[in-house]
Amino acid sequence: MNTFTVQPGGQLSGRARVPGDKSISHRAIMLGALAEGETRVTGFLEGADCIATLEAFRAMGVAIERTGPGDVRIQGAGVHGLKAPAAALDMGNSGTAMRLLCGVLAGQVFDSELIGDRSLSGRPMRRVTDPLAHMGAHIDTSEAGTPPLRVHGGAPLRGTDHVLKVASAQVKSALLLAGLWADGRTCVTEPAPTRDHTERMLAGFGYRVERDGPRTCVEGGGRLVASPVDVPADISSAAFFLVGASIATGSRMRLEHVGINPTRTGVIDILRLMGAEIRVLDQREAGGEPVADLEVEAATLKGIQIPEHLVPLAIDEFPAIFVAAACAEGETVLTGAEELRVKESDRIQVMADGLAALGVDCAVQPDGIRIQGGDGFTGGEVDSHGDHRIAMSFAMAGLRARAPIRIRDCANVGTSFPGFVALAREAGLQLEAA
The window from 162-170, 271-279, 357-365, 418-426 that contacts ligand S3P (CB under 6 A) reads 162-170
* Residue 277: other Cβ atoms inside 10 A: 15
Site membership for ligand S3P, residue 168 (CB under 6 A) = yes
Q: Is 23 annotated as a binding residue?
A: yes
Q: Determine which one of 196, 230, 316, 409 is catalytic.
A: 316
At its nearest, how many Å lie between ligand S3P and the CB of residue 389?
9
Cβ closest to ligand S3P, residue 9 vs residue 193 = 193
Site membership for ligand S3P, residue 265 (CB under 6 A) = no
In the range 320-339, which residues lie near ligand S3P by CB under 6 A?
339
The reply to whether omega before 148 is within 30° of 0 (cis) is yes
Alpha carbons 35 and 41: distance in angstroms, whole number: 13
Give backbone dihedrals phi and psi of 296, rounded to 5 degrees, phi first: -135, 140
Site membership for ligand S3P, residue 304 (CB under 6 A) = no
Contact 368, 336 (CB under 8 A): yes
Class of residue 68 by CB neighbours under 10 A (exposed 0-12, middle 13-18, buried 19+): exposed
Contact 128, 103 (CB under 8 A): yes
The window from 164-172, 227-235, 269-277, 359-367 that contacts ligand S3P (CB under 6 A) reads 164-172
Site membership for ligand S3P, residue 169 (CB under 6 A) = yes
How much of the chain is helix, strand and coil, in % rounded to 5?
35, 30, 40
Site membership for ligand S3P, residue 315 (CB under 6 A) = yes
Residue nearest to ligand S3P (CB): 23
The window from 54-62, 146-154, 167-175, 273-281 that contacts ligand S3P (CB under 6 A) reads 167-175
What is the torsional sign of CA 99, 101, 107, 112? negative
Alpha carbons 114 and 89: distance in angstroms, whole number: 5
Element of type H or E holding 171: helix 169-178
Count of residues in the chain: 434
At its nearest, how many Å lie between ligand S3P and the CB of residue 23?
3
At its nearest, how many Å lie between ligand S3P and the CB of residue 11?
29
Beta-carbon contacts of residue 397 (< 8 Å; ≥ 6 apart): 6, 323, 326, 358, 376, 377, 405
Q: Is 430 annotated as a binding residue?
A: no
Number of residues that bind ligand S3P (CB under 6 A): 11
Residue choice 123, 162, 195, 200 for contact with ligand S3P (CB under 6 A):
195
Site membership for ligand S3P, residue 209 (CB under 6 A) = no
Cβ closest to ligand S3P, residue 166 vs residue 333 = 166
DSSP structure string for 90-113: E-TT-HHHHHHHHHHHHTSSS-EE
Q: Which residues of 239-259 are buried (b: 16+ CB within 10 A; e: fewer)?
A: bbbbbbbbbbeebebbbbbbb
Q: Is 288 annotated as a binding residue?
A: no
At its nearest, how many Å lie between ligand S3P and the CB of residue 40?
21
Q: Is 123 annotated as a binding residue?
A: yes
Q: Is 365 annotated as a binding residue?
A: no
Q: Is 347 annotated as a binding residue?
A: yes
Alpha carbons 420 and 434: distance in angstroms, whole number: 14
Site membership for ligand S3P, residue 314 (CB under 6 A) = no
Site membership for ligand S3P, residue 23 (CB under 6 A) = yes
140 noted as active-site residue: no
Alpha carbons 380 and 374: distance in angstroms, whole number: 17
Contact 168, 208 (CB under 8 A): no
In the range 95-124, which residues lie near ligand S3P by CB under 6 A?
96
Cβ closest to ligand S3P, residue 237 vs residue 246 = 237
Which residues are annotated as catalytic? 316
- Which residues line the annotated binding site? 22-23, 27, 95, 123, 168, 170, 316, 343, 347, 389
- Which residues line the annotated binding site for phosphoenolpyruvate? 22, 95, 123, 170, 347, 389
Q: Which residues of this chain interact with ligand S3P, rule CB under 6 A? A: 23, 96, 168-170, 173, 194-195, 315-316, 339
